[in-house]
Amino acid sequence: MARRGPNTERGKAASSINAVKHGLRSNAPVIPEVESFEDWDRHRAAILASWEPEGGFENFLAERVASLSWRLNRVPRYETETTAHHIDTIPDDLADAAAYGEKLGIPREETASMDRIGELISQRLLPSRDPMERIIRYEGHLHRQLIQTIRELEATQARRKGDRPSALTRFDVSGSS
């Protein structure tokens, strides 16, 4: 069986930190080469500064707020890029339709009219049903987790300061037990 993985010392050194940078042991929810570690660091620092956590548990919750909000901000980018991709494929789809139309004896001008282009753009301004449902589910999941974590952090900070957490802080609407 052929050996897999890097062969050079440099490659081995680089791949040795992959689990820390990208895997379950990663501290940063950054998608390399798509998102910036510097932007993540600024985002994380701003969230931690705004919550001013004290102690390990508050820090854990504030870090979770930073991670969840970072991931939640990714959702509109995904939706935009998905829509842009669908629109970008229009020329290829029109070329395929024109080639098929020519085989049926339909002139290219009829299959690639400005009206047809406008129609295709309108149809693709929203992602199709399956990706849209996935986006909505993912966004809803992240939002619920974020709200739940914020409420837990608020309640923990209130207890530390000697305040009673508000009743709303403890109300769980997620349906989980």
| pLDDT attached to residue 165 | 67
Q: Which helix or strand (DSSP H or E) is residue 134 part of?
A: helix 129-160
Could you report the per-residue pLDDT of 92-151, keeping only the tens digit for each?
A: 888 888 888 888 888 877 777 777 777 877 777 776 778 888 889 999 999 999 999 999
Cα separation, 99 vs 23, in Å, equals 46
Could you report the per-residue pLDDT of 30-79, keeping only the tens digit for each?
A: 998 889 999 999 999 999 999 999 999 999 999 999 999 999 999 998 88
The answer to whether the CB of 165 falls within 8 A of the CB of 154 is yes
Query: What's the DSSP call for residue 36?
Result: -
| pLDDT attached to residue 18 | 53
Cα separation, 73 vs 138, in Å, equals 12
| pLDDT attached to residue 175 | 58
Counted residue by residue, the chain has a size of: 177
Whether 5 has a pLDDT exceeding 70, the answer reads no
Whether 90 has a pLDDT exceeding 60, the answer reads yes
The answer to whether the CB of 146 falls within 8 A of the CB of 65 is yes
CB atoms within 10 A of CB 145: 17
The helices-and-strands tally (H runs, E runs) of the chain is: 9, 0
The answer to whether the CB of 116 falls within 8 A of the CB of 90 is no
3-state secondary structure of 1: coil
Task: Quote the tokens at residue 16.
Answer: 């040795």
Cα separation, 105 vs 101, in Å, equals 6
Whether 19 has a pLDDT exceeding 80, the answer reads no
| pLDDT attached to residue 1 | 52
Whether 4 has a pLDDT exceeding 80, the answer reads no
| pLDDT attached to residue 26 | 58
| pLDDT attached to residue 46 | 97
> What are the residues whose beta carbons fall under 8 Å from the beta carbon of 148, sequence distance 6 or more?
172, 174
